[in-house]
Structure 1
C-alpha cells in the first residue's frame, strides 16, 4: 500500500468508474474495513478539496460518534429499492445506501454520479481516511501526487 507523502495518507489503489456506474473497491480496503461481511455500504460526499465520496457501513457507523446519522436517516439502514443511491442531505454532507456485490463493487446510478460530479471513465483514488471510512477521491493534491507517483498503484 503506497504512502504518497512522508507521514501522509496511505492509498489502496485506483478504481475506475466503469460502464453502468460500477466501481470496484480495492480488496485491501474491503478487508481492512471488514466490508465483505456487509451486504451494503453507505457512501457520503467527500471533502470540497478531494471530491468523490467516502465509504462506510452501518456496522462501522452505528457505534461511532457519527451513529446519530443513522437515526436521522433511517433509509441508510435497509436500502429500499426506491432509495438506492439517492443522496440524502444531512448537516452539510449527503448520504446514500448501496448494495455491495460479493466481488466488492457497487453501482452508482446516473443521478448519484451527477450529484457527485462524476462520470463513467473517471478514476478514483481509494485513500485510507479514518477507522470508519475510506475515501474514493476524485481530485486535489493527493490525486495529483498519485498521478505522478513513480511506483505502481494498482487499478481496480
Structure 2
C-alpha cells in the first residue's frame, strides 16, 4: 500500500467507474475493513475537498460517534430502498449490496448525487477506522497522478 507523500495518507489503489455504473473496490481496502462480510455496505458522500464517496458497513458504523444509524432507523434496518440517499448532518447516506468480487453498482441517480460518472477514476484512500474513501478530486489525487511508484488499478 503506497504512501503518496511522506507522512501522508496511505492509498489502496485506483478504481474506475464502468459504463454500467459498477465500481470494483480495491482488495486491500475491502480486506482491511472486512467490507463484504455483511453482504451490504453503507456509502456516504465524500468531503467537499476530495469528493467521491466513503465506504463502510453497519458493524463499523454502529461503533462510530456519527449517530447516523440510530437517527435513521430505515437505513439501519435496510428498509430504505437500496441506493436511495438520506441526508444527515451535511452528508448523504445510502446502502448497497456488495458482490462477492467486491463490486458496487451505482445507479445514474447515485452517480449524479456523487458527482461522478463512467470513466471517473477514484482513488481509494485509508480513512478513519470506520470507513475508507473513494476520492474523485483534490490535491491527494493530483499527487497520486504524479506519483512515480506503483498504484494498483481495479477496473
Shared fold (TM-score, shorter chain, > 0.5) = yes
Deviations 1:10-35 (A, max 9, x none): 00000010121100100100110011
1:102 equivalenced with 2:93 (yes/no): no
Equivalent pair of 1:77/1:97 in contact (CA under 8 Å): no
* Whole-angstrom CA distance in 1 between matches of 2:2 and 2:81: 36
The corresponding residue for 1:24 is: 24
The corresponding residue for 1:83 is: 81
The corresponding residue for 1:49 is: 49
**Shift in alpha-carbon separation, 1:64–1:114, aligned structure 2, 3 A:** same
The corresponding residue for 2:137 is: 139
Alpha-carbon RMSD across the aligned residues, in angstroms, is: 1.1
Equivalent pair of 2:49/2:137 in contact (CA under 8 Å): yes
Moved over 6 A (4+): none
| Structure 2: runs of 5 or more not aligned | none
* Whole-angstrom CA distance in 2 between matches of 1:117 and 1:21: 12
Q: Which structure shows the bigger proportion of residues in helix conformation?
A: 1
Which of 109, 112, 135 is the matching residue for 1:111?
A: 109
Equivalent pair of 1:79/1:99 in contact (CA under 8 Å): no
1:70 equivalenced with 2:75 (yes/no): no
Deviations 1:105-126 (A, max 9, x none): 1101110100111101100000
* Whole-angstrom CA distance in 1 between matches of 2:114 and 2:63: 27
| Structure 1: runs of 5 or more not aligned | none
Correspondence list, 1:143-154, <5 A: 143-154=141-152
